[in-house]
A = this chain, B = another copy of it.
C-alpha cells in the first residue's frame, strides 16, 4: 500500500484533537448510549485521536450537577444514572431484584467490608458455615468475584466485590462503603484470630477440602 506523504498542514490537523466542547459532547453521547459504565480508556479508544476523556468527563459531570440525570463514577469507569431523589417517578421501570436471604446479605456485607475475604473468614465472622448456594448466588449476580489467593497455608481463594456491585449500590469505589472508616477505627475489621485452642465456628478443614485445587485458579485475575 502506498500513501501520499501528508503535507505538514494536513499532519497538524490530523493529530489535532477536537475542541473540548466537542469532546464533551462525544463523552455525553457515549455514556448516554451505554447502560454499563465505560472506562476512560475505552472512551478514548472510541474518540478521535488525541482526546482527553478525563477532562471532558470533568466538564460533563459539572454540567449535569443537579440535573435529573447524573454522571457517576464507578471505580475507574463512568456512567449516567437518574438522580436517586426522582426514583418515585420510575415505578414502572423498577426491576424486581431477587430477594436475597439474610445469609446472602450478611455474606455480601462481610465480603465488601473485609475484602479480599476467604470463606473461612466469612464463616468465622458469622459463626456458621457458608453454603455453596449463597456464594453461587452472589457470583451469579456478579456482585462478587474471585480475588487473588491468600498467601496463607492452603492458599485459599478470596472473594471481592465487583464494579456491578458498586454500580448497584451507587458507590464510587469500595472505600465509600457506609461506615467503613468507623468500623476500621473500632477494630472491627481486623482479622483477630481466636484465642487458645478452642477455635469456634465450623471446621476450617472443610474449606480446604471442597475446593478442588486449581479450579478456582481459572477465575483468578
**Using a CB–CB distance below 8 Å, which chain A residues touch chain B?**
24-30, 32-34, 46-47, 66-69, 80, 82-83, 86, 89-93
Contact = CB atoms under 8 A, between A and B. Distances in A.
A69 B32 contact: yes
Contacts of A80: 32
A26 B67 contact: no
B28 A90 contact: no
Contact of A82 (B32, B46, B67, B90): B32
Question: What are the nearest 8 A-B pairs in CB distance?
Answer: A28-B68, A25-B68, A29-B68, A29-B82, A29-B86, A32-B69, A33-B93, A33-B82
Contact of A90 (B24, B30, B69, B86): B30
Contacts of A26: 68, 86, 89
12 contacts: A25-B67, A25-B83, A29-B68, A29-B69, A29-B82, A29-B86, A30-B68, A32-B69, A32-B82, A33-B82, A33-B90, A46-B89
Given A28-B67, A32-B82, 11 more contacts: A24-B68, A26-B89, A27-B68, A29-B69, A29-B90, A30-B89, A30-B90, A33-B93, A34-B93, A46-B89, A46-B92
A25 B86 contact: yes
Nearest to A43: B89
Given A29-B83, A86-B25, A86-B26, A34 B68 contact: no
A69 B28 contact: yes
Nearest to A69: B32
Nearest to A32: B69
A28 B92 CA distance: 15
A92 B34 contact: yes
A190 B148 CA distance: 43
A195 B116 CA distance: 50
Contacts of A93: 33-34
